[in-house]
Structure 1
Amino acid sequence: MKKSLFAPIFASALVLGLSACGATAETAEGDTATAVEAAQPAVYADLGGEPTGPVYRMAKADTLAVSGFDVVSYFTGDGVPVEGSEEFTVRYQGYDYRFASEDNAKAFIEDPAKYAPAYGGYCAWAIGANDALAPGDPNVYKIVDGTLYLNFSEDVATRWNKDIPGFIEKADVNYPTHTPDEHYQD
């Protein structure tokens, strides 16, 4: 774990150091940009907003939500989630959501609350049953009354399926007690 946290911290420090020194990087178009600008991911749209609760991401310093899966894809076509593209990254409440197509990005922009997963993508069962933050697996999901819910694993989803309305009711009370800066730690 220390190794994975060290790399992003070192990279951030390096970028900040280069920026402070006025270092620049050349873009694909031949323009120059500061190291900080070059390190920022391209964003198709920034919807702004502040997080209302924690959002699961691989590491606390990450901003990539739902492990990069296209949240609109759960609701369209055959309902099979697909990975999004960096090209169609939409920042919402400080987190980056990726989309497989421009149409999906536009659908999210029109109504992000409709597509963003419940409980910030954390495991719906863990929050409902134990008031705990556990990673949500983008491949273990269910849409209930138009809301996307993720669970930690198939085994956990089996437990969640036994009383979905009860777990949602409890999770709806528990999740708001968690602060946006919280993050699951293993």
Structure 2
Amino acid sequence: MGKIRLTRRGALSLLPALMGRPARGETPLGVPGLYVADPLTALALRGFDPVSYRLGPTPAPGVETHEFTWSGLVWRFASAANRGAFAHAPEAYAPRLGGFDPEGVAGGRLVEADPLVAALRDDRLYLFRDADRRKRADMTVIDAAEARWPLLRSDAALGG
């Protein structure tokens, strides 16, 4: 009989299930809503500091020593002060639309976004799949996405 070997990639793909985290391709659910997370680490924003989007031209990477768990995900911060600000008002700093691309949400789809392609609109953080989508996202698209998000979020939470 032949031996069955588990490759490193195969072993890594099992980690989320063993740790009670969603597997690749599944959407992590949290409270109060849905947020995009790295499928292997369950880190929100791929580990970037959500507060830093408001402090400079590019987001700062968070560090393991400044973590906070909210909405079922681990959020990392560049400093204790940023962690404290987020802990005080997470909804103010977390990306809108669960971190999904507004153009996709407006069209009724959960399209993953890149945390390095972001914009603040009306003092709210939005993430986009790519720079072209960010350029196209005027307030009409944002408003349509915001209007569609509650229904899309509840459908996704129900597995629909």
TM range (shorter): 0.7 to 0.9
Equivalent positions of 1:1-186 (< 5 A) are 7-9=12-14, 13=18, 50-59=30-39, 62-76=41-55, 78-128=56-106, 130-160=107-137, 164-177=138-151, 178-179=153-154, 181=157
Which structure ranks higher in relative contact order (CA pairs < 8 Å, sequence separation ≥ 6)? 1
- TM-score normalised to the size of structure 2? 0.76
Flag structure 2 segments of 5+ consecutive residues without an equivalent.
1-7, 21-29
Flag structure 1 segments of 5+ consecutive residues without an equivalent.
17-49
Report the Cα distance in structure 2 between the residues aligned to 1:176 and 1:5, rounded to whole angstroms.
36
Instruction: Name 1:32's counterpart in structure 2.
Output: none
Choose 1 or 2 for highest CA Rg.
1
Report the Cα distance in structure 2 between the residues aligned to 1:106 and 1:133, rounded to whole angstroms.
30
* Aligned AA (1:64): L
* Equivalent residues of 1:57, 1:67 under 8 A apart: yes
Report the Cα distance in structure 2 between the residues aligned to 1:4 and 1:121, rounded to whole angstroms.
26
Note the C-alpha offset of 1:166: 1.2
Note the C-alpha offset of 1:127: 0.8
Report the Cα distance in structure 2 between the residues aligned to 1:152 and 1:89, rounded to whole angstroms.
25
Report the Cα distance in structure 2 between the residues aligned to 1:175 and 1:53, rounded to whole angstroms.
10
- Moved segments of 4+, more than 3 Å: 3-6, 10-13, 179-183
- TM-score normalised to the size of structure 1? 0.66
Matched position secondary structure for 1:81: coil
* Equivalent residues of 1:141, 1:149 under 8 A apart: yes
